[in-house]
Chain A
Amino acid sequence: MTAAFELSRPEHRGRFAITVYQEGWRLGGKGASGRGAAGRIEEHGLHVWLGYYDNAFRLMRECYAELAEGENPYGDWEDAFVPESDIGLFSPGERAAWQSWSAHFPPTPGLPGDPISSAELISLRRYLARSLTLLRALVLDCAVDHGFFGERPLEPESAAADAERLGALLKRLLRRGAFAGATVLAEALAVLAAALDAIPGRLDGTFVRLAETACAGLRAWLEETAIARDELRHVWEVVDLSLAYILGVVRFGLLTDPRGLDAIDGYECRQWLRLNGASERALASPFVRGLYDLALAYEDGDPGRPCLSAGQGLRATLRLFFGYRGAIFWRMRAGMGDVVFAPLYEVLRRRGVEFAFFHRLTNVGLPAGGEILEGDRSHVESLTFTVQAKTRDGRAYAPLVVIGERPCWPAAPDFSQLSGGARLAREGRDFESHWDQRGVGETTLKVGRDFDFVVLGVSLGAVPHTCKELLARDARWRAMVENVKTVATQAFQIWLTEDLPSLGWNGPPYIVAGFVKPFDTWCDMAHVVPEEAWPRPPATSVYFCGTLPEPKFDPAEPDYPDKVRAKVRASALAYLRGPARLLWPGAFTLSGRFRYELLADPSDGAARGAARFDQQYWRANINPSDRYVLSAPGSAAHRISPLDMTYDNLTIAGDWTDCGFNTGCVEAAVMSGKLAAHALSLSPALEDITAYNHP
């Protein structure tokens, strides 16, 4: 979509006639959402936009601005994205089963997508200095919720009348004093970092020695006193990790390495931090687990196999903490399909871009020949599609439905627009399922006759199924598919008739990570309910997601998707019956049974007990194109860039490409799309792709 947006800009004066070929009935891929019963939003998973997604936000801001020039049911972009500054993390407590930890990230000047010059982009040297500033902020500002699962918070005024509590208060006071001393150290290190920033290369050795000395002292004290106390432990875990990062950057010579953080891409992130002195406790901290959970960074979905390259892990972490503007998180007002892909579709249509829905790519054809070696030149000769359905009378398919006066993507195709639609519906055609390859025909486009250039925008998981010739003849593509790993994910959504605070939840209002697997990340999505169309709106909806351990079933079996979906359903139910009790005690009866009657039923049916869950929404993201792309250690070198010149009429787009920010997220997808547009038109300029040249 980004490539189409860039190539259809008026500045190109119609130079490119663009057609988007899309399997099924909706745009968005892993980011697609649909409106189901009662107009409720049904997502692939939980999508969070981060405050450093400058390229993605700029795209959407431009899109919304262009919509405002005509009839505009979408509103302003700032209505579509809402800032959020808090995150909740969970960890096993010393005395309680789980402890929640809230982190607040103060707003920063500006908004994501605001113009930013390359001079404002921070270097690794500046990151060092800002890391130390963060240490100060964490030490001084961190708050731990004691009252949630364990002891009650100490009230100073009541403590004055109670000797024991006074003693506790005094202890806390002393600890604060100790923290202040630590902050002095942090400030001293900040001076060193500032000097490093100003005098490249001169102080590295000094810095390493001093930082190692300081870190050793801090860690000794940490082990002695702080980590035994829950209220201090998490702060010092972050301090510990930050110190490891600082040491590692200097030890590994990253300040001057032309590869930047790619120089440590071969290391697993935790392994690299461990090498640089991070404690095992810090590596198992909620901070680290939360980052891995948010990045779905587990090979084959196995929690015991963390899979995140040190280079990209640090790059993403640095961007997350030091690159955000406005707020660290931004939530979407409605589904990602509604907020992102419907406006994009509308703008592209206005610009004259054509859409061919129900077209599934099956082959990218090459000219006859042998193995294509690095440095060789070739091109795409043909594109073959399975035509999944045709519209009545050959008219363009109208994909959107209006809910609450806004155009939205439906959760299912409109069979009434399709030729033989009633039959297709009766046959249960699933146009998005890899396991349903049925079609009504096939079409092949020829280079020169039907197209000049190709932007291949399928996701990596689909490449083996769509690019067989490429894989057969190009070792680089084979290496990419083999080394850039993907993972299946699972998600479920429930709609509740009571809000979470009334059910006992007193944590942060938005996203929570690091909780019990498999649904370790979840989010109260009450803010989207008003966008839905319930006759009797529920109080809230809650989205859960996590990786899906590779199912043991045989993917060759036609009922594989059903089996996996049933497994996700069972996992979701088990989650509601078990770990949910820790979150929402009010959702359980005195006898410990989950109150299924809390689940809102869009059909207002008479289902009782666990059967009411069948009216909720869950899915297994096992389609090849739905699989989440990982940043596996050592994989960056195997990614292929949209700028790669091997195929002179082909470029690629997606978060699986070598796009400068090699991790699975919308920012990477947008950066890649911009690179693809650059590959075809030299526009946008690379320096206008924010952080493409980030270390």
Chain B
Amino acid sequence: MTDRKSRPSLKQTRPIRNATASAKAPTSDAPLELAVSDAVAHAVKLGYQVLAQNLEEGRAAAKQFRVGEYSVGQVPSDLNLLALRSLRLARDLSTTTFDLLDRLLTDPGLNAVLQKAAAASPPPDKAKAKAKADTTDMAKPAAASRAASALIPLTCNLSGRPAQMKAAILTRPKSPAALMMTGLTSANPADPPITGVSFSAGTGGAGIIANIAVPQSHAPGLYSGMVFDEGSGLPLGALTIEVSS
């Protein structure tokens, strides 16, 4: 009989398909909070940038259309409809976005992480100094404490025609007095915007209140607008209200 060689025994004979998933499981000393807060901050920033661009383009297009450098009869008949649809889409998607972010940020799992991170955050004076240093570059990795406090509650004090707040999100500004809003715009470019929005601090400093007087003449529907930092001009958030019919 031949003295035959045989293969060595093997520890693994199949791919471990969830190896990377296992490797990603958070550990007690993993910088989990950093990843979450950075992702939120980055996405919020990008979302606002794109939303601002979206609204700006929509307004510019609507303005160009209204100015009428050409006869309406010379353009395709569906242009009006298209403009309305596009603006409506922007509004709907923006609202959806804030709903999504709201759902995300109120998720118990994420909140637990954020609270844990907040507990480990530096004293307020140091956190404030760090926040100041970070304001010029939102894309930089942010501390979890910053993410936990980056978004503050925004509520509405509505007067005039009946209306209700539909969605709002606001990143923390330097001070309430620095907020400004150019107006809440309807999907229908023919409707005038709701202007004169002012901001004040909530009771006991909890959150921000947007004071909005809705003129009786305004048509029912959804009105959306951006909230800016008056000093820097950077978008800080957005607000959508629905004027009742």
Interface set of A (CB-CB < 8 Å, partner B): 118-119, 121-126, 163-164, 166-167, 170-171, 173-178, 180-185, 187-192, 194-195, 197-200, 202-203, 206, 210, 213-214, 217, 221, 224-225, 255-262, 379, 446-449, 452-453, 641, 643-645, 648-649, 651, 658, 660, 678-682, 686, 692-695
Contact = CB atoms under 8 A, between A and B. Distances in A.
Nearest to B81: A225
Nearest to B74: A163
A136 B21 CA distance: 25
A693 B89 contact: no
A693 B44 CA distance: 34
B141 interface: no
B6 A195 contact: no
B109 A180 contact: no
Contact of B13 (A126, A173, A644): A644
A187 B46 contact: yes
Contacts of A123: 20-21, 23-24
B203 interface: no
B7 A170 contact: no
A189 B101 CA distance: 9
Closest 4 CB pairs of A and B: A260-B17, A448-B2, A194-B39, A202-B109
A649 B104 CA distance: 55
B58 A177 contact: yes
Chain B: interface secondary structure?
Answer: helix
A184 B61 contact: no
B14 A641 contact: yes
Given A124-B21, A166-B69, A177 B90 contact: yes
Contacts of B43: 187-188, 190-191, 194
B5 interface: yes
B39 A195 contact: yes
A347 to B, nearest CB: 25
B35 A210 contact: no
B244 interface: no
A383 to B, nearest CB: 14
A311 to B, nearest CB: 10
A122 B71 CA distance: 55
A365 to B, nearest CB: 14
Which of B13, B14, B21 has its CB near the most chain A CB atoms (within 10 A)? B21
A84 to B, nearest CB: 29
B109 A199 contact: yes
Nearest to A658: B14
A187 B97 contact: yes
B7 A648 contact: yes
A211 to B, nearest CB: 9
Contacts of B191: none
Given A188-B96, A188-B97, A188-B100, A452 B14 contact: no
B4 A210 contact: no
Nearest to B35: A198
A446 B25 CA distance: 51
B144 to A, nearest CB: 11
Given A121-B20, A200-B26, A195 B3 contact: no
B9 interface: yes
Given A188-B97, A255-B21, A452 B4 contact: yes
Contacts of B32: 198-199
A180 B53 contact: yes
B64 interface: yes
A194 B110 CA distance: 11
Contact of B5 (A126, A256, A453): A453
B206 interface: no
Nearest to A662: B15
Given A164-B74, A645-B7, A225 B85 contact: yes
A203 B10 CA distance: 37
A541 to B, nearest CB: 39
Contact of B58 (A119, A174, A200, A681): A174
Given A164-B74, A180-B57, A194-B43, A206 B93 contact: no
Contacts of B25: 200
Contacts of A192: 100, 104
Nearest to A691: B15
A183 B3 CA distance: 68
Contacts of A452: 4-5
B47 A184 contact: yes
A674 to B, nearest CB: 13
27 contacts: A122-B20, A164-B74, A166-B69, A167-B79, A170-B79, A173-B57, A181-B50, A184-B54, A184-B93, A185-B96, A185-B100, A188-B47, A188-B96, A191-B104, A194-B36, A195-B104, A195-B109, A197-B24, A199-B110, A203-B107, A210-B100, A225-B85, A447-B2, A447-B4, A448-B4, A649-B4, A651-B7
Interface of B: 2-10, 12-21, 23-26, 32, 35-36, 39-40, 43-44, 46-47, 50-51, 53-54, 57-58, 60-61, 64-65, 69-71, 74-76, 79, 82-83, 85-87, 89-90, 92-94, 96-97, 100-101, 103-104, 107-110, 113
B64 A188 contact: no
Contacts of B9: 645
Contacts of B64: 170
Given A185-B96, A206-B107, 4 more contacts: A187-B43, A189-B100, A210-B103, A695-B17
A174 B82 contact: yes
B117 to A, nearest CB: 11
A118 B24 CA distance: 11
A695 B50 contact: no
A123 B101 CA distance: 23
Contacts of B2: 446-449
Contact of B57 (A166, A176, A644): A176
A39 B54 CA distance: 57
Nearest to A224: B85
A167 B100 contact: no
Contacts of A124: 20-21
Contacts of A261: 17
A188 B50 CA distance: 12
Given A224-B85, A225-B85, A262 B17 contact: yes
B109 A203 contact: yes
Contacts of B93: 181-182, 184-185, 217
Nearest to B46: A187
Given A183-B50, A256-B21, A203 B85 contact: no
B227 to A, nearest CB: 15
Contacts of B6: 379, 648-649
Contacts of A643: 10, 12-14
Most buried by A among B20, B90, B94: B20
Contact of A187 (B12, B50, B82): B50
Contact of A175 (B16, B65, B86): B86
Contacts of B57: 173-174, 176-177, 180
A692 B16 CA distance: 8
Given A164-B74, A178-B86, A258 B18 contact: yes
Contacts of A258: 17-18
Contact of B113 (A166, A199, A206, A449): A199
Contact of B71 (A163, A177, A184, A221): A163
A600 to B, nearest CB: 47
Nearest to B84: A174
B236 to A, nearest CB: 15
Contacts of A166: 69-70, 75
Contacts of A182: 89, 93
Given A164-B74, A180-B53, A118 B109 contact: no
A644 B101 CA distance: 48
